[in-house]
Structure 1
Amino acid sequence: MDLDDDLPPADPAAALQLIREQRVATARRLEPDARILYWPWGVAWLVGFGLFFLRFSPDDRVLVRLPDWLPLTVLFVLLAVAAVIQAVAGARAYGQVSGNSSRRGLWYGCSWALGSVSVYAALGRVTNHLPHDLAALLWSATAVGLTGALHMAGGAIWLDRNLFRLGVWISVINVIGAFAGPGWHALVIALAGGGGILTAGVLGRLRQRRRQ
């Protein structure tokens, strides 16, 4: 074994290059690919809400005859798959991180879980008294609104401008879709919401490559 390999570089330029390489390697290990974090959610919204629009179009029209249960089932399955992918990617990347960063991530995840359960429990008590189209609009608009708010909260916690902007975008299009009404909301969320999340993944990956 050559002991010289363990010595620091004598050349300052080589030392700086070694530091840069170590930083890049650490960033790659601790920061998941942005596409893995965003694209599964974007696909879930694009496909799931897209099926809702095709089956439950405005004015009670049916553009594509699908079983009533199919859009919601597909959406829930795709959302569950996206959640698993993000959980695995996050565990691999942040499993070595401790301290305040780890605590923030844990509390933020609990906010998603408990916030969703509490909102959906309240909705379940109300929507049975509404027509089907308004009940569906209330469910989807509330879920999307909660998502936008938590994205903005996450951006504020980690000072992540891009995550905050995505939350603002989701919140704005949710308002537009809600005012447009049943059927149209699903189309807006599928195209602008799902497409926006997919775009956020692309932009996030480009920024990661520039940093690396």
Structure 2
Amino acid sequence: MDANDDELPPLDPAESLRLIAREQAATVRRLTPDPRLLLWPWGLAWLVGFGVFFLRFGPGGRVYVDMPDFLPLTVLLAAITLAGIVTGFVGARAGRQVSGPTSRQGAMYGFTWSVAFIGMAVLLSRVSELLPVPDANLLWAGAMVALTGALHMAGGALWNDRVLYVLGISISVVNVVGIALGPGWHALVVAVLGGGGMLVAGLVSWLRMPR
């Protein structure tokens, strides 16, 4: 009985190499989460959340859009929580296909984010009460963005991901510039450059994935 064409080995060595490359690319796509689903939710969360902060607590105490004082923080926390749920689901689904050291690395890295942010929130909640509202907002935002940049750089070093590492550096630089400009401006800078940077990084990482 003759073998089907699909069962015959390729006769051309170049075709064999192309077949191997296609299979490797398919494996990478199957095991690697879509970077857009990991970065775009956070980019949108920062763009919306910090954007609302800027509209309510503008430079020099200016109010561009009148709203209750609690609303900007509520919007930001809700957006960040939603982004965390989305990325956590995407990461967990991808992690089920991987076992061994790589899976443990991913789990420990995700746990590090949670512990770091909880610890920072507890510390800031004690200190921010001693500051005026604009300075307290800047303290919270600056510290959280600084922690995010550092964790992105750590993740880039851990996974040998240059895009993620550069994103962490960019976030850190944007944060320093915003803090130097002061309350109000920090929210605008982080919303546009920080959130927008995550959207761009997600697109670049996706375009760099094997096809």
Q: TM bucket by the smaller chain?
A: over 0.9
Partner amino acid for 1:50?
G
Q: How does 1:1-212 map to 2 (within 5 A)?
A: 4=4, 7=7, 9-11=9-11, 12-208=13-209, 211-212=210-211
The separation in 2 between residues aligned to 1:150 and 1:3, in whole angstroms, is 54
Partner amino acid for 1:156?
A
CA deviations on 1:50-85 (whole Å, 9 max, x unpaired) are 000000111111011112222111111111111111
Structure 2 contact 57–184 (Cα < 8 Å) conserved:
yes
Per the alignment, do residues 93 and 153 of structure 1 end up closer, same or farther by CA in structure 2, a change over 3 Å counting? same
Structure 2 contact 153–164 (Cα < 8 Å) conserved:
yes
The separation in 1 between residues aligned to 2:148 and 2:35, in whole angstroms, is 18
**What is the Cα deviation at residue 2 of structure 1?**
7.6
Partner amino acid for 2:194?
G
The separation in 1 between residues aligned to 2:17 and 2:156, in whole angstroms, is 32
User: Which consecutive unaligned segments of at least 5 residues does structure 2 have?
Assistant: none
The separation in 2 between residues aligned to 1:91 and 1:107, in whole angstroms, is 12
TM normalised by structure 1 equals: 0.93
Partner amino acid for 1:188?
V
Structure 1 contact 8–15 (Cα < 8 Å) conserved:
no
TM normalised by structure 2 equals: 0.93
Partner amino acid for 1:145?
A
The separation in 2 between residues aligned to 1:73 and 1:5, in whole angstroms, is 61
Per the alignment, do residues 2 and 112 of structure 1 end up closer, same or farther by CA in structure 2, a change over 3 Å counting? farther
User: Which consecutive unaligned segments of at least 5 residues does structure 1 have?
Assistant: none
Per the alignment, do residues 152 and 3 of structure 1 end up closer, same or farther by CA in structure 2, a change over 3 Å counting? same
CA RMSD between the two structures: 1.7
The separation in 2 between residues aligned to 1:32 and 1:156, in whole angstroms, is 18
Count of residue pairs the alignment pairs up: 210
The separation in 1 between residues aligned to 2:85 and 2:29, in whole angstroms, is 21
